[in-house]
Amino acid sequence: MSQADHMPTRGRRLTRRTKIVAFLVGALMVATGAAASNWIVGLSAGSSGEAQSGTIANLTITASVPGANADVLYPGGPGDVVISITNPNKFPVTVTGFNLPTNTTYANGYTDSALTTAAAACSAATPSTVSWAFSTATSGSAHTLTSPLVVAATGAANNPLVVTLSDDAAMGGTAPSGCAGLWFKMPSFTGVVATAGGGTVTTSPATSGWTS
Amino acid sequence: MLRLLVAAAALLVVVLALLAGCHGHTSRHRALLPRSNAPGGGAAAGARIADLVITGAPAPSSAQRLYPGTRGDVALSVRNPNPFPVTLRAVRLPAATVYADGFADATLREPKPDCAATTPSRVAWVDKDSPASAHTFSRTVVVGAKATVLLIVRDAVSMETTAPTACAGAFFKMPSFAGVDAAVGGVPAGGPVTVTWRG
A50 and B106 in contact by Cβ < 8 A?
A: yes
Residue B41 lies in a domain: no
Strands (E), chain A: 36-41, 50-52, 60-63, 78-86, 93-100, 108-110, 130-132, 141-151, 161-171, 183-185, 191-196, 206-208
B69 and A34 in contact by Cβ < 8 A?
A: no
Nearest CB partner across the interface for A52, out of B25, B68, B171: B171
A41 and B72 in contact by Cβ < 8 A?
A: no
Number of separate domains in chain B? 1
Look at residue B15 in the predicted model and tell me its pLDDT: 43
Arithmetic mean of pLDDT, B126-144: 81
Is the model's pLDDT at B101 over the cut of 60? yes
Domains of chain A: which residue ranges?
Answer: 60-208
Question: pLDDT digits over A70-102, tens only?
Answer: 899 999 999 999 999 999 998 899 999 999 999
Question: pLDDT digits over A148-194, tens only?
Answer: 999 999 999 999 999 999 999 999 999 999 999 999 999 999 999 99
Is the model's pLDDT at B109 over the cut of 70? yes
A55 and B168 in contact by Cβ < 8 A?
A: yes
Written as one string, the DSSP assignment of B70-106 is EEEEEEEEEE--SSS-EEEEEEE---TT--PEEESST
Contacts of B14 in chain A (CB under 8 A): none
- Nearest chain B residue to A29 by CA distance is B15
What domain range includes position B186?
53-198
Strands (E), A23-118: 36-41, 50-52, 60-63, 78-86, 93-100, 108-110
Which of residues B47 and B85 earns the better pLDDT score? B85
Mean pLDDT of chain B: 79
Contacts of A156 in chain B (CB under 8 A): none
Predicted TM-score of the model (pTM):
0.68
Nearest CB partner across the interface for A53, out of B58, B170, B186: B170
Decide if B167 contacts B102 (C-beta within 8 A). yes
Question: pLDDT digits over A29-51, tens only?
Answer: 444 445 778 888 989 988 988 99
Is the model's pLDDT at A138 over the cut of 50? yes
Which of residues A79 and B36 earns the better pLDDT score? A79
CA distances, A115 to each of A4, A160, A185 (Å):
103, 19, 7
Arithmetic mean of pLDDT, B25-31: 32
Residue B134 lies in a domain: yes
Chain A residues in contact with chain B using a Cβ-Cβ cutoff of 8 Å: 14, 17-18, 21-22, 24-25, 28-29, 31-56, 89-91, 195-197
Residue B106 lies in a domain: yes
Look at residue B68 in the predicted model and tell me its pLDDT: 86
